[in-house]
Amino acid sequence: MKKNIRTVPTRILERIRSFELDDIVVACVKRLKPEDLGRYSHLGLKIEAGKLFVPDPAVPPPESGRYSKANVEGREVVRKDLPMVTRSYSWESPNWGDWSNGSHTHTVTRDVYQREFIPPKEVELSATLVEEVHGAFVVKFAVDQVLNRRTSDLESELLYNLNILQENVGAADVFPSAATLADYLDTVRIDWEILPPGKVDDVIRRMLQGKRPIREDQRQLMEQRLKVLSRFKPEAYIAGTNGFLRYFGAKFSDDLIVFENLNYGNAIYVMYERWEDLSKRSRVDLLRGDRAGFDRVEHRDGWEGRLEALLEQKKKEKR
């Protein structure tokens, strides 16, 4: 699993601010193939008679990491922010190195930092089978503690629970406590809408219709990126259709698709698969596997030229 999270990621805090309700849970969704389940055996996941067995919620094992250990055993914190205190330590020693001659007491006095014991929270981790499709399992993992974003200790509680999930599952995210299984499923499944070409403003309006509102800076980013794509004369535009817009882009042919992620827009992806196949894949699977299936162009200086050259190359190969 990945290393611990040192501070609550900005993307998590932004997500929390976008929620309509105050109560949140630390959770994530993963799409697991049968061969992946060995990495989650410590949580009790296994295949029985061809079906995924999901155990009841339980405290994750302390061996998973330092947060998981503290969750079971508690932890001791050295309080260097408090004044030092004087402590005396005593021990017995044999007289002349021989206990048969009796013993005497040694005492040492010194100033030390105060220590505070943080008791274990013993939060449980639950796993829920959301969907089984094409031999893979979509599983929701969640820390069974509801947090409220208005509490003063939210970030410390959030960091704790994010690391519990990170240590045991290798991923961490947040959801409203009232989120449905369909909401969780939306994070790994993408439904697509094909939009006809047109003016960029009209395309954006159609893409955003029926979606949750986006920030003005995100809208400006969409406009900037779509203006670049429009220069290359796509035959259609594409947009994710689940409750809010994550992915958008352009279709140049059935096996030449360019898309972006509005939330994580550090790169644009050029996919070389038939549209019918691409539309059936989960968000995770879009970028998993053979890198021959796509190219990733980072949004660095000159990215528009690199994208244009890549598209021209692929179009020539198809002629």
User: What are the domain boundaries of the chain?
Assistant: 10-73+119-186, 76-113, 192-318
Question: For residues 246 and 166, which has the higher predicted lDDT (pLDDT)?
Answer: 166
Mean pLDDT score across all residues of the chain: 82
Q: What is the structure's pLDDT at 41?
A: 92
Cβ count within 10 A of residue 20? 7
Which pLDDT band holds residue 241 (cuts at 50, 70, 90)?
Answer: low
Cβ count within 10 A of residue 81? 7
Cβ count within 10 A of residue 119? 9
Residue 244, pLDDT > 50, answer no
50 Cβ contact partners less than 8 Å away, ≥ 6 residues apart: none
Q: For 249-256, what is the mean pLDDT?
A: 84
At what angle are helices 66-73 and 154-169 packed, to 10 degrees?
110
Q: What is the dihedral of CA 262, 264, 265, 270, to 10 degrees?
A: -90
Q: What is the structure's pLDDT at 150?
A: 92
Q: In what order do the strands lie in the sheet with 236-240?
A: 192-195, 236-240, 247-253, 256-261, 267-271, 294-298
Q: For 211-234, what is the mean pLDDT?
A: 83
Question: For residues 205 and 65, which has the higher predicted lDDT (pLDDT)?
Answer: 65
Residue 180, pLDDT > 80, answer no
With b meaning 16 or more CB within 10 Å and e meaning fewer, what string describes 229-259? bbeeebebbbbbebeebbbbbbbbeebbbbb
Of the candidate CATH numbers 3.40.1350, 3.30.70, 3.10.420, 3.90.1150, the domain formed by 192-318 belongs to: 3.90.1150
Q: Which of 279, 313, 62, 61 is nearest to 190 (CA)?
A: 279
Contact call for residues 147 and 161 (beta carbons, < 8 A)? yes
Backbone angles phi, psi at 40, to 5 degrees: -120, 15
Kindly state the greatest CA–CA separation across the chain: 100
Cβ count within 10 A of residue 192? 20
Question: For residues 245 and 28, which has the higher predicted lDDT (pLDDT)?
Answer: 28
Q: What is the structure's pLDDT at 265?
A: 54
Residue 99, pLDDT > 80, answer yes
Nearest 5 degrees, angle CA 39-CA 45-CA 46? 95
The reported pTM is 0.56
Which pLDDT band holds residue 45 (cuts at 50, 70, 90)?
Answer: very high
Residue 200, pLDDT > 70, answer yes
Span 270-312, pLDDT tens digits: 888 766 565 555 555 555 545 556 788 888 888 899 999 988 8
Q: For 240-255, what is the mean pLDDT?
A: 70
Percent of the chain's residues with pLDDT above 70: 82
Sign of CA dihedral 62, 64, 66, 70: negative
